[in-house]
A and B are shown apart, each in its own frame.
Chain A
Amino acid sequence: MNPSRLLQRELMGISAVWWREFKVFWREKSRIISSIVQPLIWLFLFGSGIGASLSVENVHYRDYIYPGILTMSVIFGSVFFGLYIVWDRKLDVLKAVLVAPVARISIFFGKVLGGCTDVLLQVIILFSFSFLFPAVDLRGIPQALLILLVTSIALVSLGLALGSLLESLEGFQVISAFLVFPLFFLSGALFPLDERLPSWLTGLVKLNPLSYTVDGVRGALLGMNRYPFWVDLGIITLFASVMLIVGSVMFSRMK
């Protein structure tokens, strides 16, 4: 078979998996709704509560954490989407897909695309609530979307990599407690990185690639960034590339 035909086959395989993920996403309406309502609850209860006594650089706290909460829904949505293959494997849903004449890596890419699509659609719906946050500059949305997309690619890959390793659903709790929550809290999503923070905390936040997502989105929407947009995007892209490689290797080795 000639190379272009082979490539066409693999692309069809990728789109097959993507198509399946989209169908599943669309069918689980309750999951979509909760993934949108949950961040809004955060913003309005947590944001308004703390915001009553706190603002950051004259921006209402609720508006200040809007970029962070967008990032939060990308983190949780993406990692758990990837981890979900543990369940697929348990139910043998993946078995019939893995025996098809499609390279493992194509199935992996199909899954990544599927996960990013789900997460991005959720983010876009969340953006439609931007008008409720007076400090948000709507013109920054495309830049914010771009950086969130790249973040989602990185984290779906991370989730798939971990999901390929896990044997059972019990691992979910561990990953959630020791990886997902720390990644979120140490991203500066909920607090500014200023001189009042202990230095060890500042150090951890700087090591966390997701801090650059939060910084990029915050820069795009509120103009409150520490680094130029291209630096944030560059770091996240590097992170995503590494995760894509790690994820595809782990997924290919999965039994």
Chain B
Amino acid sequence: MAVIETRSLTKTFGKIQAVRGIDLSIEQGEIFGLLGPNGAGKTTTIGMLCTIIRPTSGRGVVAGFDVAASPTQVRRNVGIVFQDPTLDTILTGRENLQLHARLYGIPAGVRGLWIDEMLALVDLKDRADDLTRTYSGGMRRRLELARGLLHRPAVLFLDEPTLGLDPQTRARVWEYIRQTARKENTTVVLTTHYMEEAQQVCGRVGIIDQGKIIALDTPQNMIDSLGGDIVAVSAESPPLDRIRSLSYVSSVRMVDGVMEATMKSAHLHLAQLLPLISGVKSVEMRKPTLNDVFMKLTGRDIREDDAARGESWVETVARHQQRGR
């Protein structure tokens, strides 16, 4: 049976329709990614599923309990890492976990043991007794992850778990997430802006835009649906119609003055394709990513309107780090 089920889950804040009727069904042990641009409704959806936001309409069932009717039972079964930091910085790392253990009713007999296990998992044993205000951003994030996992929830919600972390730390965080999901059969629902990472970690992803799920599948199927590799050619005036009519080309479009043609086994066709275009300035061949899927579905880059929505500098830094790689 599905561990998370939603039916037309909806949330409006005054005039803003943050989430407009989401239907989801997520199985026990899945790692499910919720991807979408800023303001798409990811955090609001997670908030409703972990009972801190009351749905305007629709239904959500998590771990067998209705989020509106039995919030306490839902809470007992979920762990959450919020998008914004929520550590108690006047407490040490260990004390943060102790507080959490008591709040979640972990019996005193096993508390110490579980806490040590989690601290070891996120490599914070040496710093456990320092105040968390002395931690680096990455250490705080790892501690939050440990806290979310401490009471061994059936479902773990991770809202941008790797936001602002350096690439090595990000890789390690994903590794913990994968490990735990496998070992404890925990269901993980996560959001991220790092498409490549979502692609590697998630069994299935849902793409959400303007409060609606617009695609739902495995990352591989989504990418395969694009019909092959992408060849990006920068040239004066590429003959789009001519190229579109070629048998091996599945689609062609212009992105910022660059022609992007999608085709199977691009490396075999490149030699035939290029002579058709005059004045070629540069050519790039790449495997498509989930971002290309998003672009195809909406005609927009998943990140393009971030700046307009006033994102925080952390997000900007994170994106530059990613682009710079």
Contact = CB atoms under 8 A, between A and B. Distances in A.
Interface of A: 9, 12-13, 15-17, 19-20, 23-24, 27-28, 91-93, 95-103
A91 B99 CA distance: 17
Interface in B23-37: none
A101 B52 CA distance: 11
For the complex of A and B, the 6 pairs showing the least CB-CB separation, nearest first, are A16-B102, A100-B103, A101-B75, A101-B76, A96-B86, A92-B86
Contacts of A91: 89
Interface string B121-157: 0000000000000000000000000010000000000
B105 A12 contact: yes
A99 B105 contact: no
Contacts of A9: 105
A96 B100 contact: yes
A99 B77 CA distance: 11
Chain A interface main SS type: helix
A79 B105 CA distance: 30
Interface residues of B, number: 26
19 contacts: A13-B103, A15-B102, A19-B99, A20-B95, A23-B91, A24-B91, A92-B82, A92-B84, A95-B86, A96-B86, A96-B87, A96-B100, A97-B99, A98-B52, A99-B50, A99-B80, A100-B100, A101-B103, A101-B105
Nearest to B92: A23
Most buried by B among A28, A92, A96, A100: A96
A9 B102 CA distance: 9
Contacts of B100: 96, 100
Contact of A95 (B73, B82, B95, B103): B82
Contacts of B147: 96
A220 to B, nearest CB: 36
Interface string B45-63: 0000011100000000000
Nearest to B71: A101
Contact of B103 (A23, A27, A93, A97): A97
A102 B82 contact: no
B220 interface: no
Contacts of B171: none
